[in-house]
Structure 1
């Protein structure tokens, strides 16, 4: 018997305007955990997918979304899950729907401390930030981290994760009116990213510079971000929200003994899928110590196109989440 559910379906690569709230068949769940979605996270890659601009392309029609939290409808024997369990999960596509089927290895119990929206918000951005800071940068407690674009999804997650790892965090802020939000994430200082921001970073670090720069922005900030590094510092490239893909003059790396390091979380999982569970476990330990993902906007599932438009317009601080009735 086929069950019909509602989902946001992309019908063309024209951006959020090509999304429709349609009836679709419930996804097949043989060998998978079928989840009744209560919340789905809104991520920048979701927006790029609707525009055909993401490195992993999807052909319409498709249902976007990669992170969910909800209730188990049914699960395969031996999965460790039962009907009614509160869970969070990572999916390739399909999260913007009332139901989604997920491989058991990408499903975890939702911490009691979190509601469904917070559970969905803990996934892609925070996992990326943890991978970047812990594994790629080798961040240690007591080091100083500068986060560029700290009011955005990945940036705000990086502030929280760096703080949880014991770092001193300087938050670089583009947006007007975002200081209070960023300060509430746990940052130790704020630097507005306008002319002269590099001098301000040097001032607050007594001329030394920072040990790690988290850069999800790229573009015009990149050159000064390299200059902001202390000796043996690491700049972590997470994306190019600023539009342009910068180039680095490697003689600067040589002369200053600094590194530029890529952090492609999704691509890393292709070669080391077990890292997904390891990172999820680490983040849940942070939750037990008080971390709460910064969900600032909650949209009904049917309004997912508007959520993506607001994300594109830069009006979402932290994380937006789509929620369903239930």
Structure 2
């Protein structure tokens, strides 16, 4: 089978990236062989190719998200065999592409317990794009324990995780869902286009919530100044969940009035998309299936992504920062 493969001789140098012809994996007990149709290139995949994760073992086929068809299973039971021929999709935390070979190949071994049937409204291309962003958004909302009484603010609402979080907060029945983004093309409730973020957020959030403040913030941006300014707008018992932080040799600290934080009963919730197991993420995808079937949760249009063939994926997929899907055919 054709595959992409990372090789790293020593931790002192970045991995090398190459196309490879590898044996098709043989199903092991508890696993299914999935023929990958499409796989997205997530930011974490690009970071993995640069040696950004110390727990990655080499040589390694990268890739976390996928859609495809089950072609074989090892278990000789009727329940296992019913998966053969079904269209499936999925994602991974720090397993696929890190500790075991991932989805940027024509075939991949997936734990049978992690198989999730692709919802009918999603094309195979769309299904390959939703794994990391959708499960990350749901992780944030679950950890923040969003209820129908909550006003939710999503920072970075135009992005993949942010736009999913907006839809999911509405699907969960949140009382009010507010959006914040730096670009005005999505017409956010809060346009983050000023240097004085604290004053901007204070005025806009107060006006939008009748002075109540926000009960939950889902932060997909990870900017310390924005984070500090937004925390001031949390209502009593407010929860702040975030998924990102600056990288490199820059200041990652935030300003927090701990007196006000404990008086208001605030909770800070860091959400790491690499933490869940592939089986746990499969449960999240199954949970979302009803929303997808009912049209409450929609993936981005196929036209929003560049589809590249596997032979071109290193240059045109990993070598750029846009939204890229690898066609494995």
Contact 1:90 / 1:107 at 8 angstroms: preserved in 2?
no
Cα distance in 2 for residues equivalent to 1:21 and 1:190:
45
Cα 1:299–1:245 change in 2 (3 A) is: farther
Match of 2:22, SS state, is strand
Match of 2:313 in 1: 304
TM-score (norm 2): 0.81
Shift of 1:88: 1.2
Q: Is the contact between residue 218 and residue 245 of structure 1 (CA under 8 Å) also seen in structure 2?
A: no
Note the aligned Cα RMSD (angstroms): 2.6
Q: CA deviation at 1:60?
A: 4.1
Structure 1: how far apart are the matches of 2:219 and 2:319?
23
Determine whether 1:145 maps to 2:152.
yes
Q: Secondary structure at the match of 1:203?
A: helix
Report the Cα distance in structure 2 between the residues aligned to 1:288 and 1:255, rounded to whole angstroms: 42
Structure number with bigger Rg: 2
Asked whether the equivalents of residues 217 and 242 of structure 1 are also in contact (C-alpha less than 8 Å), the reply is no
Q: 1:53 to 1:210 in 2, by over 3 A?
A: same
1:8 corresponds in structure 2 to 4
User: What is the aligned partner in structure 1 of residue 179 from structure 2?
Assistant: 171
Partner of 1:282: 287
The residue number in structure 2 matching 1:27 is 25
2:88 corresponding residue in structure 1: 87
Q: Unmatched 5+ residue regions in structure 2?
A: none
Paired position in structure 2 for 1:186? none
SS at match of 2:274: helix
Unaligned runs of 5+ in 1: 184-188
Does the alignment pair 1:157 with 2:161? no
Determine helix, strand or coil for the equivalent of 1:253: helix
Say which SS state the counterpart of residue 25 (structure 1) adopts.
coil
* Shift of residue 86, structure 1, vs aligned partner: 0.7
Give the aligned partner of residue 43 of structure 2. 44
Match of 1:100 among 97, 102, 108: 108
Q: 1:61 to 1:275 in 2, by over 3 A?
A: closer
The structural deviation recorded for 1:322 is 2.3
Aligned pairs, how many? 300
